[in-house]
Amino acid sequence: MTYTLWEIARHINAELHGDPKCEIKNIGTLEHATSGEISFLSNNRYTHFLESTKASAVILKAEHLDSCPVHALVMDDPYLGYANVARLLYPDVIAEPGVHIKADIHSTAEIHSTAHIGPYVSIGSNTKIAANVYIGPGCVIGDGITVGTNSRLIANVVLCDGVEIGERGILHPGVVIGADGFGIANDNGKWLKIPQVGSVIIGNDVEIGANTSIDRGALGNTIIDDGVKIDNQVQIGHNVHIGEHTAIAGCVGIAGSTKIGKRCMIGGAAGISGHLEIVDDVIIMAMTGVANSIRKPGIYASGVPAMEAKIWRKNIATYRHLYTLSSRVNKLEKK
């Protein structure tokens, strides 16, 4: 799709500097964009690409306007501007409604006439698929499931019995919702499986990345509130509750019965122990291990960034003696 800079500026509420009739067809990086493409500058590490960019226009802050050699759209948050331009130029493709001849639909399932059901989809009994839902190839939808209006299951998504998906959800390939949680009890050295009798309730406008797993509740439900965004390969244990508009990056693991508040941001590969509570507006940086509840908003971190191996070995050698050194310092302070 093609839009003029004037149309784009109005759409993202930006201040236009340049030709309002300039046509934009695509988005590109500052380094590689060409004529007819728009780019953006939101990170100062890429400022050196601005003066030589071949883009037709750049979304940027006012402080960078004098260095911009092409048309510019000025706003306080260029990254948000880029996000809205991307949504404008690359809208979701509307699939044709209908049920593919190779789909397997139970006779008691309710499929809205505007829904798209792709090939090799399996839909179980008493399941309800709402208007404009897209279910891509290979998805397995169990019994007693609800999928809300305008939601999209891209491909090979598995929804186990009793799961509820809200409106406008996006579930990427390989997502598994409602598999059994890790519920086991030790019986004289042997592990006894505990039936997982809860389900998973997912709110509206939730996006779940590829190969992410969200376990069903052991008792009660696992709950993902409205607006939550979850990246690829995330593991969410049974009875976890994630508050509205929280964002979780890739490879995060959240153990069972933990409650995470609203508007939190959890960095990649963070690990969160079970039965904890994390309040609203907490930022957990990548690779952080959370072993205790977080009761105050703020930024939390742990873990050691990469360093040269020879320095790492010296630091580890020192770390082994840390307790002894601490004890000696305490004794000296007492004296």
DSSP string, 263-291: T-EE-TT-EE-SS-EE-SSEEE-TT-EE-
**What phi and psi values does residue 123 have, to the nearest 5 degrees?**
-125, 125
Dihedral angle computed from the Cα positions of residues 234, 240, 242 and 248, in that order, rounded to the nearest 10 degrees: -20
Sort strands 164-165 and 200-202 into parallel, antiparallel or unpaired.
parallel
Amino acid at 150: N
Tokens of 34: 């060409």
**What's the gap between Cα 297 and its chain centre?**
21
Q: Which pLDDT belongs to residue 113? A: 97
Query: From CA 52, how far away is CA 217, in angstroms rounded?
Result: 54
Q: Which pLDDT belongs to residue 47? A: 95
Catalytic residue among 17, 116, 238, 241: 238
Sign for the pseudo-dihedral over CA of 53, 58, 62, 68? positive
Query: Which residue in the block uniquely carries the two structure tokens 């630091």?
Result: 315
Tokens of 140: 């397995």
CA distances in angstroms from 25 to 80, 85, 86, 150, 285, listed in the order given: 19, 11, 10, 26, 36
**What phi and psi values does residue 282 have, to the nearest 5 degrees?**
-105, 135
Q: Which contacts of 148-154 are long-range, i.e. CB under 8 A and separated by 24 or more positions?
A: 148/204, 152/92
Q: Which pLDDT belongs to residue 18? A: 96
Q: Which pLDDT belongs to residue 92? A: 85
Q: Which pLDDT belongs to residue 53? A: 96
Which H or E run includes 56? none
Give catalytic status of residue 238 as yes or no: yes
Query: From CA 151, how far away is CA 278, in angstroms rounded?
Result: 29
pTM: 0.91
Which H or E run includes 84? helix 78-89
Q: Which pLDDT belongs to residue 217? A: 97
Query: From CA 216, how far away is CA 182, in angstroms rounded?
Result: 10
Encode the chain (335 residues) as per-residue pLDDT tens digits.
899 999 999 999 999 999 999 999 999 999 999 999 999 999 999 999 999 999 999 999 999 999 999 999 999 999 999 999 999 999 988 889 999 999 999 999 999 999 999 999 999 999 999 999 999 999 999 999 999 999 999 999 999 999 999 999 999 999 999 999 999 999 999 999 999 999 999 999 999 999 999 999 999 999 999 999 999 999 999 999 999 999 999 999 999 999 999 999 999 999 999 999 999 999 999 999 999 999 999 999 998 888 999 999 999 888 888 889 999 999 999 98
Put residue 250 in one of left, alpha, beta given phi > 0 → left and psi -120 to 50 → alpha: beta
Q: Which pLDDT belongs to residue 305? A: 83
Query: Which residue in the block uniquely carries the two structure tokens 């309002």?
Result: 20
